[in-house]
Amino acid sequence: MDLKQKNSVYFIGIGGIGMSALARYFVAKGFAVAGYDKTKTDITDALQEIGVSVHFEDDVNAIASPFLNTETTLVVYTPAIPKTHNELNYFMSNGFEVHKRSMVLGAITKETFCMAVAGTHGKTTTTSILGHLLKACDVAVTAFLGGISENYNSNLIQNGTEVTVVEADEFDRSFLTLSPDFACITSMDADHLDIYGDASALVKSFEDFTKKIKPNGKLFVKNGLPIKGITYGIEDNSDYSVKNIKIENGSYVFDVQTPKTLLKDFKFSLPGRHNLSNALIALAMSVEYGLPHPQLAKGLASYKGVKRRFTYQIKTKDLIYIDDYAHHPEEINAVHQAVREMYPNKKVMAIFQPHLFSRTKDFANEFAESLAQFDEVVLLDIYPARELPMEGITSGWLLEKIETTHKALVQKADLIEEIQNSSATVILTLGAGDIGEEVKHIKKALSIAS
């Protein structure tokens, strides 16, 4: 694709977190940008505030005329859009250049020094840390994030175009469109089995991804994964390893052993060993790129996190309310580890909205085991996303598998009352569906009550 021939970009599914970051990029580059999404959200509101035209009906007549020129308009769509979509079919049938988001991202990054973050967990946090560290060291970087950075209140970090930082998404194998100079793999737990069929096919796709790295590029892998590369880990014998961990005022303080030296006195404020691991790989990639220790330490200390990634909504002496995107058993385990490390003697209630019928079915026993670790468990109905219901696969079915006495299936309308009736002093909302829309209501109710 030749982006130099285009002056306008139309997005189908513009409200998606990855799509909206790409839309912001094209706005910053001076393109006319517009798009469709089925739902009005904070993300679409923010796009409209920077001059992007967004509409919410699948109607070709709603598309402004400048975006109906086949010569000058690039059309970008997300795989979540159904094949029956009227606008998508119009563009495809009338000679427009139409590409998936991953193809466009691949084209943008090809002409830059690209750092790609792959893995079934940790991509968004790691990408945002890496982008933040590079910007803190005044690298000419553009980072495309899969979440809203707390530091920048955006899913795009911009400080130039020499280096790009991207999430390498394994869903529908879209990461195979990238050509990274540096790449890391944070994890390879079974997921997206509705796409891959089994775990071995998922592993094969990660192996294929490593072959996309440019000649003389570098691959970083979490210690223990079955792929060779520069290893990283916590308090082990990896090439890059976190050493001398202390917790001071709710933050990690630690050193990093590199292949050449010991870098001392890093501070990082996100709880959980999984987040510490994400910080380490971002540091390792930055060190290998040649960035200086003092600026990296200062940058990491100023990192604030990503919205819906262990985000504190309320943090008082008597009540903690944390919201997190966790939607896989391993992610729930990571949240549990972080909560128990920070609040070892407090009663914890976990409110979980399962995401996808297929994922709930494939990992039901693992979900039950991870959720049973909390003192109280509340389930919402399964969020279907792109799927139709599966017979017998419900939140009630999952609830029966959870071996704890304090558990309940609750409708959204009754959720606040359920929380207020609990004696738990640490409240968690977990899930990748629309549970995030409930957060502000829960926060308001708990703030008034306290």
pLDDT digits (tens, 9 = 90+) for 31-42: 999 999 998 988
For 214, other C-beta atoms within 10 Å of its C-beta total: 14
pLDDT value, residue 35? 98
User: For the whole model, what pTM was predicted?
Assistant: 0.82
CA dist., res. 169 & res. 185, Å (int): 11
Range with the lowest mean pLDDT among 185-189, 277-281, 314-318? Answer: 185-189
pLDDT value, residue 341? 86
Residue 306 domain flag: no
Mean per-residue pLDDT for 407-420?
96
pLDDT value, residue 286? 98
When pLDDT is cut at 50, 70 and 90, the band that residue 184 belongs to is very high
Residues 179 and 291 both lie in one domain: yes
Mean per-residue pLDDT for 56-77?
96
Residues 327 and 294 both lie in one domain: no
Final residue before a domain boundary, out of 266, 301, 336: 301
- CATH number of the domain at 425, please: 3.90.190.20
Residue 105 domain flag: no
Residue 104 domain flag: no
Mean per-residue pLDDT for 163-167?
95
Residues 88 and 70 both lie in one domain: yes
**pLDDT greater than 70 at residue 199:** no
pLDDT value, residue 292? 97
Residue 106 domain flag: no
Range with the lowest mean pLDDT among 22-36, 186-200, 240-254, 297-311? Answer: 186-200
pLDDT value, residue 186? 94
Residue 44 domain flag: yes
Final residue before a domain boundary, out of 99, 127, 155: 99
Residue 390 domain flag: yes
Final residue before a domain boundary, out of 247, 266, 301: 301
Q: How many domains does the chain have?
A: 3
When pLDDT is cut at 50, 70 and 90, the band that residue 65 belongs to is very high
- CATH number of the domain at 28, please: 3.40.50.720
**pLDDT greater than 60 at residue 12:** yes
**pLDDT greater than 60 at residue 194:** no
What is the residue range of 425's domain? 311-449
Residue 125 domain flag: yes
pLDDT value, residue 90? 98
pLDDT value, residue 426? 97
pLDDT value, residue 272? 87
Residues 155 and 289 both lie in one domain: yes
Mean per-residue pLDDT for 381-410?
95
Residues 297 and 317 both lie in one domain: no
Residues 43 and 69 both lie in one domain: yes
Mean per-residue pLDDT for 365-375?
97
Residues 261 and 145 both lie in one domain: yes
**pLDDT greater than 90 at residue 342:** no
Residues 291 and 354 both lie in one domain: no
Residues 150 and 273 both lie in one domain: yes
pLDDT value, residue 431? 96
Residue 48 domain flag: yes
pLDDT tens-digit readout, 111-141 = 899 999 999 888 999 999 999 999 999 999 9
Residues 340 and 278 both lie in one domain: no
Residues 95 and 145 both lie in one domain: no
Residues 294 and 322 both lie in one domain: no
- CATH number of the domain at 123, please: 3.40.1190.10
pLDDT value, residue 177? 86
> Residue 86 CA to chain centroid, in angstroms?
29
